[in-house]
Structure 1
């Protein structure tokens, strides 16, 4: 029996995934959570073989939760299952320890197959997304540029970002300027949007 943990903030989607997987004789859904913050604790309580994680969730996102889960329970295989098939998400998911990456508009049997294959030690990646990821390449942003852009997402001022990240305002401006240059953006809001579209944030 393959024991599965589901993490998705949309209750209806989570329920549908649980129903699809529950119809299989060799798969049992042992836990369902609605935020990234709950993943590790529930995994420790239920010992799943496979964790199916959405990317965009409240608290920790699915990629942060994947890295935390992989570090604490390396035998639990991780599949990212998301609406947002962005190339940057794929490379970040693999770096976080995920063994699979599927998009939610795939047929149900593809998801079931992915669970079985990942449980069997294989990697499973949506082929169209893999091709796009290779064409797009890795994120050009440095770690600090990523942090500064992420902090700028909610429209925070340079002073706010500097305080939050314990940097000088000049350093924040330099990182924002570099990020804008690398993304080809004219404004920091555009740099945030473009980075999100590529899955770099």
Structure 2
């Protein structure tokens, strides 16, 4: 029996997926989480074989949970479930050691097959996502990502500098380079473009 933790913030979808997957003879949903923190807690506590994670969740994103599973060396294979074929998300997921990345518009049977494949040591990638990964590599450095994430939250350059232990001038220079690199007019557009591409 393949033991699965399922994390999805939409309760109706999570319930439907759990019910459908539990109907499979070789799958058992041992835990359900409505946000990233709950998902990570369930993985630590239950030690499932596979964790199915929605990419965009409250408190911690599915990508952050996958990175924590990798960093903590938890013996759990990760399958990401997403609505959008965003190349930045896929690249970050692969860097986090994720074994599967599939779109939500597939059937429950396809998801079950992806879980089995991942559990068996293979990879499961939706074809649309494979092509998306080649389209636009993430141009942002980790520091630029940090700065844009804080800018997206509405923090001023001074507040960002304080949070990241940088000088105000350094943050201003980073922001100027980011605006040029992304081909936009201001920090709001820079954050919006990076978010749309899945780079932050």
* Counterpart-to-counterpart distance in 2, 1:82 and 1:135: 18
Please give the secondary structure, in 2, of the residue aligned with 1:52. Answer: strand
Q: Check if 1:75 corresponds to 2:72.
A: no
C-alpha displacement at 1:73, in angstroms? Answer: 4.1
Provide the TM-score with structure 1 as the length reference: 0.95
Provide the TM-score with structure 2 as the length reference: 0.95
* Counterpart-to-counterpart distance in 2, 1:142 and 1:167: 16
Give the corresponding residue for 2:95. 95
Q: Check if 1:173 corresponds to 2:172.
A: yes
* Counterpart-to-counterpart distance in 2, 1:5 and 1:187: 41
Give the corresponding residue for 1:6. 6
Please give the secondary structure, in 2, of the residue aligned with 1:194. Answer: helix
Q: Following TM superposition, where does structure 1 have runs of at least 4 consecutive aligned residues deviating by more than 3 angstroms?
A: none
Please give the secondary structure, in 2, of the residue aligned with 1:146. Answer: helix
C-alpha contact 1:77 1:119 (8 A) present in aligned 2 = yes
Alignment of 1:77-156 (within 5 A): 77-136=77-136, 138-156=137-155
C-alpha displacement at 1:59, in angstroms? Answer: 1.3
* Counterpart-to-counterpart distance in 1, 2:113 and 2:7: 18
* Counterpart-to-counterpart distance in 2, 1:140 and 1:68: 23
* Counterpart-to-counterpart distance in 2, 1:37 and 1:166: 26
Which sections of structure 2, spanning at least 5 residues, go unmatched? none
* Counterpart-to-counterpart distance in 2, 1:13 and 1:177: 41
Give the corresponding residue for 2:29. 29
C-alpha displacement at 1:62, in angstroms? Answer: 0.8
* Counterpart-to-counterpart distance in 1, 2:124 and 2:58: 26
C-alpha contact 2:5 2:43 (8 A) present in aligned 1 = yes
C-alpha contact 1:81 1:103 (8 A) present in aligned 2 = yes
* Counterpart-to-counterpart distance in 2, 1:83 and 1:197: 13
* Counterpart-to-counterpart distance in 2, 1:158 and 1:78: 36
C-alpha contact 2:47 2:75 (8 A) present in aligned 1 = no
C-alpha displacement at 1:72, in angstroms? Answer: 2.4
CA deviation vs aligned residue, 1:53-83 (integer Å, no higher than 9, x gap): 1111111211011011123244311001012
* Counterpart-to-counterpart distance in 2, 1:135 and 1:86: 10
CA deviation vs aligned residue, 1:107-140 (integer Å, no higher than 9, x gap): 222111100110111011111111121122x211
How many matched pairs?
A: 200
C-alpha displacement at 1:22, in angstroms? Answer: 0.8
